[in-house]
Structure 1
Amino acid sequence: MTRIYMNRWFSVAYHYIHMIRNNSDGEKFIFYGTHPDIQHMSLLAADHAETEPAVTGLEYVNFCVAFCARHEIDIFIPRLHMEEIARHIHLFDEIGTKVMVCRDIELLEAMMEKDRFYEMLGGKDLVAIPEYRVVNTAADFKKAYEQLSAQDMKVCFKPTKAEGGNGFRMIDNDLDSLGELFSYVTVSTTFQRAYDTLALTEQFEDLMVMELLEGPEYSIDCISTAKGELITAIPRRKSEGRLYLLEDVPELQAISERIAEALRIPYAFNIQVRYNQGIPKLLEINPRMSGGLYITCLSGVNMPYLAVRSIMGKPIEPPEPQLGITASFVEQALIMEARQFAK
């Protein structure tokens, strides 16, 4: 029976645990999870759950090592603090726990900082990079905005260190403030509003000011071997509302193959691109299972389980995903009081 530990994951870990558990090979797993919130949805599917301490850095790594040792964990699938965990990967090697993380520290850290990653990919001809500037003062923000606008580009900005859509804003100088107040919450703002806010401080954390990509957006969910050899890549296009399209896009398949061959990211990763004027440009690469992977699995490919087989060193036949699928999701009511959690 293989023991798997997942730390402070998104709520979608609930789906991934069930997918791994309900595999077609009949492999048996026991799941362990930790989170600061003991009632977090990510823990509901786990067999054993505990509360995480409010610590960071090496102290957090030591907590994870001790947890793995105490529960004789075979596979650790981290989300939080992947960089720190990778820096001290030898501590897990010493207790026999395999960690689903990229061991290339330079690459891993670059993927966490978008500007560094763009610089790393520059000149490699793997995927087009959007026009961007990195700023940390209001004056430089204004300069970057004016430079991109002068090229007839719409402009957006986002922290260089951010997960998902955190901190992302689109600049729209035609916003109707009153209409905005009575409408849905928006990620749009005017240049003046953003500038005035940023000018409140002498210097702020790095922002990436970049061209706004207005075409279709794709998440390409990928599974690879421990050596980073691509096993499968499935594009998922975000459509209107909650609709997603699982599509066969040779251009995106080629991008996935080039990135996998050049970077050798192991196990599970996600490439996000968005088109602008017919050209797919890189948004970011997440070196982990993506938040929407459970939708991609409607292609008939159990990607979380393939990632587990990969780290276990078991052979994997390249799957044949069913594409041309329109997919969505609905909420599901679950009873939280049905089990006792460790405190």
Structure 2
Amino acid sequence: MTRIYMNRWFSTAYHYINMIRDNPDGESFEFYGTHPNPQHMSLMASDHAETEPDLTGRAYAEFCAEFCKRHEIDLFIPRLHMEEIARHASLFDAIGTKLLVCRDLDLLDAMVEKDKFYEMLQGRDLVTIPDYEVVTTAEAFKSAYEKLTARGHKVCFKPTKSEGGMGFRIINDEIDPLEELYGYVTLSTTFERAHEAFSAVERFEDIMVMELLEGTEYSIDCLATAEGELITAVPRRKSEGRIYLLEENQELLELSRRIANTLRIPYAFNIQVRYNHGVPKLLEINPRMSGGLYITCLSSVNLPYLAVRAALGMPITPPEPKFGITASYIEQAVQINQD
């Protein structure tokens, strides 16, 4: 019985645990989870769950290492503070716990902070980078906005260090205030509103002001060996609403191979791109299982389980994904108390 620990994860970890447990090889796993919220969905599929303390830095890594030692964990799959886990990997090596994490600290730190990552990729001919500037003052924000619009771009902005859509806004000066009140909540704001908000402080945390990519968006879920050799990649095209298409896009499969061959990101990672004027441009690369990976697994490839096999040093037969699959998802009620 292999014991796996997952610290504070997204709620979709519920799916990943069940996919790993329901593997085609009949391998047995026991799952341990921690989260500040003892009723979080990421814990509902675990066999054992504990409340996670509010710690950062080495103190957090030490908590995780102590947890792994106490429960004799074979494999730790971190999400929260994965940089700190990788930075203090020796704590886990000393107790025999394997880590499903990128150990290249320079690469990992860069992927977490988007501006550093864009700088790292400049001139490497791997993927096209959107036009952007990083700003920390309202004056610099105004200047970046004017430069980008002068180049013919629509503009958006996002914190350099964030996950998913947190902090993402599109600048749209044609917003009708009344329609906005009556309509759905949107990600749009006007330049005036954004500039006014940024002007309220002397300096703010790094914001990336960049060209708005208006074409089709893809999330490419990738699987690699511990050495970063690409095993498989599945492009997932975002359509209207909750509709996705698992698409055999040769341009994006080749892009994935270039990135994997150069950066050598191990295990499971996710490349997000969006087209603009026919060119796929990089949004970000996440060095972990993506939030929508359970949709990609409809390709008949159990990516979470194969990532576990890779981390444990077990052999993997390269899978053949099924493409041309249209998919969506629905909410499902799950009872979380046993009374």
Q: Could you say which TM-score interval applies, normalised by the shorter chain?
A: over 0.9
Shift of 1:46: 0.2
Deviation at 1:149, TM superposition (A): 0.2
In 2, Cα distance between the equivalents of 1:34 and 1:41?
11
Q: d(CA) in 2 for partners of 1:213 and 1:206?
A: 20
The one-letter code sitting in structure 1 at the alignment partner of 2:147 is Q
Q: Unaligned stretches of 5+ in structure 1?
A: none
- Which residue in 2 is equivalent to 1:9? 9
Runs of 4+ in 1 over 6 A off after TM superposition: none
Map of 1:46 onto structure 2:
46
Partner in structure 1 of residue 55 of structure 2: 55
Aligned residue pair count:
339
1:230-257: CA deviations, max 9, x gaps?
0000000111011001000000000000
Amino acid at match of 2:160: T
Report % sequence identity: 71
User: Corresponding residue for 2:194?
Assistant: 194
The residue that corresponds to 1:70 in the other structure is: 70
Tell me, what secondary structure is at the counterpart of 2:291? coil
What's the CA shift string for 1:259-292, capped at 9, x where partnerless? Answer: 0000000000000000000000000000000000
2:92 counterpart of 1:89: no
Counterparts of residues 99-248 of structure 1 (less than 5 Å): 99-248=99-248
In the alignment, the residues of structure 1 paired with residue 202 and residue 177 of structure 2 have an alpha-carbon distance, to the nearest angstrom, of 27
What is the RMSD computed on CA atoms of the aligned residues? 0.7
CA distance in structure 1 between the partners assigned to 2:32 and 2:214 by the alignment = 41
- Which consecutive residues of structure 2, in runs of 5 or more, have no partner in the other structure? none
Matches of 2:87 and 2:333, distance apart in 1: 39
Q: In structure 1, what residue type is equivalent to 2:236?
A: R
* Aligned: 1:258 with 2:258: yes
Q: TM-score, normalised by structure 2?
A: 0.99
Per-residue CA shift, 1:58-102, capped at 9, x if unaligned?
111111000000000000000000111111000000000001110
Tell me the secondary structure at the aligned position of residue 334 of structure 2. Answer: coil
How far residue 183 of structure 1 moved from its aligned partner, in angstroms, is 1.1
Counterpart amino acid of residue 44 in structure 1: M
Query: Paired residue for 1:36?
Result: 36
Alignment correspondent of 1:26:
26
* 1:110 match: secondary structure: helix
User: SS of the residue aligned with 1:95?
Assistant: coil
1:279-329 deviation per Cα after TM superposition (whole angstroms, max 9, x unaligned): 000000000000000000001000000000101111111111110010000
Distance 1:234 1:130 in 2: 23
| Aligned AA (1:31) | F
For residues 91-131 of structure 1, the C-alpha deviation after alignment (integer angstroms, 9 at most, x for no partner) is 00000000111000000000001000000000000000000
Q: CA deviation at 1:338?
A: 2.6
Amino acid at match of 1:98: K
1: CA distance, partners of 2:337 / 2:90: 38
TM-score (norm 1): 0.98
Counterpart AA for 1:173? D
3-state DSSP of counterpart to 1:24: coil
